[in-house]
């Protein structure tokens, strides 16, 4: 079994010490470069060799139904344009994730492909309105500050994803966490968004790449695996039902 890589320090981008706490243990440490503290707790997964009882299967179905209902309720609160792949994509579509707080949906990720087949194409397109922070806290953030925080948040998340996907710990990857402009050392990558060429910036790993751009008041983040950038053409998705109909679980 391949153990997951340690995370990158969110303050300086250095590789944190690998943490392998025992079952039920809570472990604390510091970044070896900047000293930022962090903690970890072991997750416990159990897998029974015995078939599930009818009651256990019913409980699993109930939990899954609740998760799907929560997802639908969250997405129903979406008040901004959400981006996904255009009609040239013929594979699976599902909700990869979302962020909400204070009853307001603040980000949505639309996923495309089979996440359980490492040889298959997989594309995740995340959308976060630039002005969300300014709307929720109008006395704290200007529009420029809200744009900066949204870009920085997206860039950090994308860089962590690329690192865990096997990318080298390059200077450009680490600079994402230290530079005033987190994508300054990323490479230019124009993508077609709603039929228009939009400037993105990108980092490339072994079989994966990430890209970040801003268009129509939203930060668009792309995580892609086993697919060329020319095949990734985000568009505004008006009907989210095909994404809600698939739970993203193994088939």
> Per residue in 69-97, pLDDT tens?
888 888 888 889 999 999 999 999 999 99
Mean local confidence (pLDDT), 31-51: 74
Task: Give yes or no for residue 180 having a pLDDT over 80.
Answer: yes
Domain count across the chain: 1
d(CA 223, CA 32): 28
Residue 1's pLDDT band (boundaries 50, 70, 90)? Answer: very low
| Joined tokens for residue 103 | 């009853």
Mean local confidence (pLDDT), 125-146: 72
* Residues 6 or more apart whose Cβ sits within 8 Å of residue 28: 37, 38, 39, 40
61 inside domain: no
Higher pLDDT, 211 or 98: 211
Task: Give yes or no for residue 157 having a pLDDT over 80.
Answer: yes
Task: Give yes or no for residue 134 having a pLDDT over 50.
Answer: no
Would you state the pLDDT for residue 221? Answer: 98
Mean local confidence (pLDDT), 214-226: 96
Q: Which domain holds residue 172?
A: 81-245
Lowest mean pLDDT among 87-96, 149-158, 188-197, 241-250: 241-250
Distances (CA, A) of 140 to 30, 135, 148, 182: 31, 10, 13, 22
Residue 56's pLDDT band (boundaries 50, 70, 90)? Answer: confident
Task: Give yes or no for residue 7 having a pLDDT over 50.
Answer: yes
- CA–centroid distance for 112 within its chain: 13
d(CA 229, CA 28): 40
199 inside domain: yes
Mean local confidence (pLDDT), 122-147: 76
Task: Give yes or no for residue 48 having a pLDDT over 80.
Answer: no
191 inside domain: yes
Nearest of 136, 120, 122, 86 to residue 242 by alpha carbon: 86
Residue 43's pLDDT band (boundaries 50, 70, 90)? Answer: low
Task: Give yes or no for residue 40 having a pLDDT over 80.
Answer: no
217 inside domain: yes
Tell me if 113 sits within 8 A of 122, measured CB to CB. yes
Mean local confidence (pLDDT), 182-189: 97
| Joined tokens for residue 142 | 């200007």
Mean local confidence (pLDDT), 155-183: 96
5 inside domain: no
- What phi and psi, each to the nearest 5 degrees, are found at residue 5? -70, 150
Q: Is 81 helix (H, G, I), strand (E, B) or coil?
A: coil
| Joined tokens for residue 141 | 């953030």
**Beta-bridge mates of residue 190:** 199
Q: How many C-alpha atoms does 107 have within 13 Å on its Cβ side?
A: 20
36 inside domain: no
- What phi and psi, each to the nearest 5 degrees, are found at residue 205? -105, -150
Q: Is 179 helix (H, G, I), strand (E, B) or coil?
A: coil
Tell me if 66 sits within 8 A of 60, measured CB to CB. no
| Joined tokens for residue 74 | 């969250």
184 inside domain: yes
Higher pLDDT, 111 or 102: 111
10 inside domain: no
Would you state the pLDDT for residue 130? Answer: 86
Nearest of 115, 75, 76, 64 to residue 98 by alpha carbon: 75
- Mean pLDDT computed over every residue of the chain: 88
Mean local confidence (pLDDT), 157-168: 96
């Amino acid at each position: 079994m391949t153990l997951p890589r340690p995370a990158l320090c969110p303050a300086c981008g250095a590789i944190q010490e690998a943490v392998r706490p025992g079952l039920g243990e809570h472990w604390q440490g510091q970044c070896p470069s900047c000293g930022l503290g962090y903690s970890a707790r072991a997750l416990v997964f159990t897998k029974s060799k015995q078939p599930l009882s009818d009651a256990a299967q019913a409980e699993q179905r109930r939990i899954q139904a609740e998760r799907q209902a929560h997802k639908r309720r969250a997405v129903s609160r979406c008040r901004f344009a959400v981006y996904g792949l255009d009609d040239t994509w013929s594979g699976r579509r599902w909700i990869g994730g979302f962020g909400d707080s204070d009853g307001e949906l603040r980000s949505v990720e639309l996923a495309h492909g089979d996440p359980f087949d490492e040889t298959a194409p997989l594309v995740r397109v995340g959308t976060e309105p630039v002005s969300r922070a300014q709307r929720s806290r109008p006395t704290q953030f200007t529009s420029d500050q809200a744009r900066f925080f949204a870009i920085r948040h997206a860039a950090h998340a994308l860089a962590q994803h690329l690192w865990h996907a096997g990318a080298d710990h390059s200077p450009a990857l680490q600079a994402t966490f230290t530079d005033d402009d987190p994508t300054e050392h990323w490479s230019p990558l124009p993508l077609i968004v709603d039929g228009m060429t939009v400037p993105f910036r990108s980092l490339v790993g072994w079989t994966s790449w990430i890209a970040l751009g801003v268009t129509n008041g939203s930060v668009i983040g792309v995580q892609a695996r086993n697919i060329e950038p020319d095949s990734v053409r985000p568009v505004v998705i008006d009907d989210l039902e095909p994404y809600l109909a698939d739970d993203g679980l193994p088939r």
